A and B are shown apart, each in its own frame.
Chain A
């Protein structure tokens, strides 16, 4: 096997092993109660496996890189009979069972991430044609409500004819608010204000971009755990935007009421035949969270995964040796 391919597969092994191990931390570590702190922490934990995997790969190859820059031929002459993580003297040998497995895994992960990124890219274009269905009359009603409440959405707003109560932000580069005509007809101006203030908070916080990052990073977690980490972040982000909406309209009760009234619209729509529904509605947690005032959490231990990883990096030589020994065991 070509030495470079062998090293790439070894790097994949190191990355996947570390990322999958850390994804258990990402999925299970407790989160603080305050929505803003919870969102930050959930984001860190969702990205921890990818960052940790990259850091350990970098640490494992660091001695080899340093040696290479210094022009020394072999940095681990005394390294024993295990494989060398070294560009100059990488171990070549018969393909081990794990090389095939890692090649398959790497190809699967790359395909999955690429496919998901393509889905996101295509989705942006898909929603732009909704501008052709913009309902000027109801848009004026919505604009009047926003003016009266001094709420500004930082992007285009399209009101489209639909019976289902859609109200969402779409697009990463240019987030756009899409509101169904049924929502404008059914909700009072105060509730419309809350809904738009909530969506505006998503845009201002950059949630549309982070959603993409967390979604793609989820593919590099252990199977099943990426989705859980992404959901923890998304749920926390929703509550953080409820908090932001409460700050904008000046009332937590107004947000709670708007959530319940909107949920009634959703209930009416999903009761129609042919429209699917399932799972547990998160309305209860959202309403209770926005009614409770959370003290800002001071949690110095929240940074421990990053501190631990940084400390590990300073032990790059040790990691290098351990990783080579583990790879040697895998190669048999």
Chain B
């Protein structure tokens, strides 16, 4: 399984993953062509693909003289893993965290919720 949490993708890596996700399998040459508007050197694309392979995000097989690259994870799985990696150790109570959450991630008692719903209904009836 790729280690996503410690190795977030850079801009070029992300662009290459987008290309591979949309039309794998691809050779280095095909990826470089798809990125033609960036005017990148062939070696830059090859090195980045190799880095993505080493990160565990791509797999490759040799066909003739060239490698064919394809993603190890589909886009949706990668995105879910990325979000989970970033947010997994976020503290449950946002009051103690570096974020400001709509509600703390703390369970409330069912009786409390039921009584609050009754209170809201009473207020609604009072206004009607």
| Interface residues, chain A, with chain B CB atoms under 8 Å away | 119-120, 123, 126-127, 129-130, 132-133, 135, 160-162, 164, 166-170, 178, 195, 198-199, 202, 207-208, 211, 227, 230-231, 234-235, 237, 253, 256-257, 259-260, 262-264, 266-267, 269-271, 276-284, 286-288, 291
A267 to B114, CA, bound (A): 13
Q: Which residues of A contact B105 (CB under 8 A)?
A: 164, 266, 269-270, 277
Contact, CB under 8 Å: A262 / B102: yes
Contact, CB under 8 Å: B103 / A263: yes
The residue in chain B whose Cβ has the minimal distance to the Cβ of A170 is B99
Q: Which residues of A contact B101 (CB under 8 A)?
A: 166-168
Say if the beta carbon of B98 comes within 8 Å of chain A: yes
Contact, CB under 8 Å: A253 / B124: yes
Of A129, A198, A260, which is within 8 A of B8 by CB? A129
Say if the beta carbon of B112 comes within 8 Å of chain A: yes
| Interface residues, chain B, with chain A CB atoms under 8 Å away | 8-9, 14, 76, 79-80, 82-84, 86-87, 90, 92-96, 98-110, 112-113, 116-117, 119-120, 123-124, 127
A283 to B108, CA, bound (A): 7
Number of A-B residue pairs, CB cutoff 8 Å, is 145
Which one of A237, A263, A269, A288 has the highest number of Cβ atoms from chain B below 10 Å of its Cβ? A263
Of B84, B106, B113, which is within 8 A of A277 by CB? B106
Contact, CB under 8 Å: A162 / B113: no
Q: Which residues of B contact A230 (CB under 8 A)?
A: 95
